[in-house]
Structure 1
Amino acid sequence: MDEAKIRDALDAHWRASAAGDLVAEHDIYDDDAICDYPQSGERIVGRLNLQALRGHHPGKPSGFTVRRIQGSGALWVTEYIISYQGRPFYTVSIMEFRDAKVVHETQYFAEPFEAPEWRSQWVQPIT
């Protein structure tokens, strides 16, 4: 597996996602790709369905920041923050590749929460 080619495809994918370019954003996916949203119990089957779903999202993202991309071989993970209507969602995308195309993606979305005071003696704030 050509990891440099996959990394280039990921960089292009996230740039297009941030720019709202639905066509370029979905170039990374195989025609029969599967995308799972475990928190809502949904599975999207096929690149065109995934593109249509994202194109009809009522609260288009207003911000998009990739924090890091890690991976090797066929498995790659991207951690990023996506903002909807000014609210950040911390997101993890796990992508599985075959022939430099995503065949399976799982995405997790988490809203921020206030750190409880009781654990303040053991933690440091993240900037």
Structure 2
Amino acid sequence: MNAHWRASAAGEIDAEHDIYDDDVLCEYPQSGERILGRVNLQALRGHHPGRPSGFEVRRIFGEGNLWITEYTIIYQGKPAYTVSMMEFRDGKVVHETQYFADPFDAPGWRSQWFKARREACRWVRCPRLSSLRTA
């Protein structure tokens, strides 16, 4: 799992996709895309016109065959907060679902319940993955 995220952060597309089964299904629910097959997924990501300029894993958690990763990708100077849910079979990802969200300012009416600005509430670092930060 760590090798996948390191390769993704480094832009090593072949190593990044070693984790996937040949018949993987990757879904992007917000756009309705369903990419079938490791070859197609790698081709799609390899042809992205606005390659990410930064990447930071917030945390990875799970057990057995289901693992969740929260991370941020920087596209064209803007963060995309991302959640990846990976289902494994025989050591390979057979199904991945990714959700992407843009940042937003907290509304003023909630100010009595939140601590500080977004910058003051930065990532909780996972020591095993601290080398992933590229931004």
Same topology, TM > 0.5 = yes
Following superposition, the deviation at residue 86 of structure 1 comes to 0.9
Q: Deviations over 1:66-106 (max 9, x none)?
A: 01000101000000000001100100000000011000000
Q: Secondary structure at the match of 2:31?
A: coil
Which one of the candidate residues 86, 102, 106 is aligned to 1:111?
Answer: 102
Q: Is residue 93 of structure 1 aligned with residue 84 of structure 2?
A: yes
Aligned sequence identity (%): 75
* Counterpart residue identity of residue 67, structure 2: W
Q: Which one scores higher on RCO, CA 8 angstroms, separation ≥ 6?
A: 2
How far off is 1:55 after superposition? 0.4
Q: List 4+ stretches of structure 1 deviating above 4 A.
A: none
More strand by share: 1
Aligned AA (2:54): G
State yes or no: 1:52 paired with 2:43.
Answer: yes
In the alignment, structure 1 segments of 5+ residues that lack a partner are 1-9
Deviation, 1:122, is 1.1
Partner secondary structure for residue 122 of structure 1: coil
**Counterpart selection for 2:17 from 22, 26, 32:** 26
Q: Distance in 2 between matches of 1:64 and 1:123?
A: 26
Identify unmatched segments of 5+ residues in structure 2.
Answer: 123-135
Query: Aligned pairs, how many?
Result: 118
RMSD of the TM alignment (CA)? Answer: 0.6
